[in-house]
Structure 1
Amino acid sequence: MSVEVFPMRLKSSQEKRKMNIGCGVSPSSPTTTVVDEEVAIRRKLAMRRVLEDNGGDGSSVRDFSLFTTKRGDTLFTQSWTPVDSAKNRGLVVLLHGLNEHSGRYSDFAKQLNVNGFKVYGIDWIGHGGSDGLHAYVPSLDYAVADLKSFIEKVIAENPGLPCFCIGHSTGGAIILKAMLDAKIEARVSGIVLTSPAVGVQPTYPIFGVIAPFLSFLIPRYQLSAAKKKIMPVSRDPEALLAKYSDPLVYTGFIRARTGNEILRLGAHLLQNLNRIKVPFLVMHGTADTVTDPKGTQKLYNEASSSDKSIKLYDGLLHDLLFEPERETIAGVILDWLNRRV
Structure 2
Amino acid sequence: MVETTYTHISGTDGLPLRVLRIEPTDPGSIRGTVQMVHGKNEHKGRYAQFMRYLAANGYLTICNDHRGHGESVHRPQDRGYMYEGGYKALVEDVHEITLEVKDYAHKRCGGKALPMILLGHSMGSLAARCYIRKYDDEIDKLLLIGSPSKSKNIKQGLMMLRSLEHIEGKRVRSKLADLLIIGVNYEFRFRKEGLKNAWTNSEREAVIEHNNDPLCRFRFTLSGYEEMLKMSMLTYSGGYTPKNPHMPIRFFSGANDPCAISKERFIGALHLLKKIGYTNVRGKMYNGMRHDILHEKEKHKVYCDILKAIEER
Q: Equivalent residue for 2:18?
A: 76
1:161 matched to 2:114? The reply is yes
User: Equivalent of 1:120, from 59, 62, 67?
Assistant: 62
Question: Structure 1 stretch 270-279 or stretch 319-328: which is displaced more?
Answer: 270-279
Please, which of 128, 137, 149 is the counterpart of residue 82 of structure 2? 137
Contact 1:164 1:189 in 2 (8 A): yes
Equivalent residue for 2:266?
Answer: 296
Q: Which residue of 1 aligns with 2:97?
A: 150
Secondary structure at the counterpart of residue 247 of structure 1: coil
User: CA 1:112–1:121 in 2, change beyond 3 Å: closer, same or farther?
Assistant: same
**Matched ranges for 1:185-264 at <5 A:** 185-200=136-151, 207-215=157-165, 218-225=169-176, 226=178, 227-228=182-183, 230-232=196-198, 233-252=200-219, 254-264=220-230
Note the aligned Cα RMSD (angstroms): 2.2
* Residue of structure 1 equivalent to 2:3: 62
Q: Where in structure 2 are the equivalents of 1:253-332 lying within 5 Å? A: 254-272=220-238, 275=241, 277=245, 278-290=247-259, 292-293=261-262, 294-303=264-273, 304-332=277-305
More displaced stretch, 187-196 vs 285-294: 285-294
Aligned mate of 1:87, from 29, 33, 55: 29
Distance in 2, Cα, partners of 1:173 & 1:209: 20
Q: Give structure 1 stretches of 5+ with no counterpart.
A: 1-59
| Distance in 1 between residues matched to 2:266 and 2:221, nearest whole Å | 25
1:67 touches 1:77 (CA, 8 Å); kept in 2?
Answer: yes
- 1:216, 1:257 within 8 Å by CA — same for their partners in 2? no
Amino acid at match of 1:222: R
Write out the 4+ residue segments of structure 1 that deviate beyond 6 Å after TM superposition.
none
Cα deviation for residue 128 of structure 1 reads: 0.7
Aligned positions, number: 277
TM-score by length of 1: 0.76
Q: What secondary structure sits across from 1:305 in the alignment?
A: coil
Report the identity percentage: 21
Give the whole-Å Cα distance in 2 for the aligned partners of 1:177 and 1:106: 24
| Distance change (3 Å), C-alpha of 1:264 and 1:330 | same
- The Cα shift of 1:275 comes to 4.6
What SS does the corresponding residue of 2:175 show, helix, strand or coil? coil
Q: Can you give the 5+ residue segments of structure 2 that lack an aligned partner in the other structure?
A: 107-112, 188-195
**1:331 alignment partner, SS class:** helix
Instruction: Give the match's secondary structure for 1:268.
Output: helix
Q: Does structure 1 retain, via aligned residues, the 8 Å contact 2:8–2:19?
A: yes
For normalisation by structure 2, the TM-score amounts to 0.82
Q: Deviations over 1:239-263 (max 9, x none)?
A: 11211111111343x3211111121
Indicate the structure with greater helix content: 2
Q: 1:335 to 1:128 in 2, by over 3 A?
A: same
Shift of 1:196: 1.8
In 2, the alpha carbon distance for the partners of 1:137 and 1:197 equals 20
- Shift in Å at residue 295 of structure 1? 4.6
Comparing both chains, which one has the higher relative contact order based on Cα–Cα distances under 8 Å and sequence gaps of 6 or more? 2
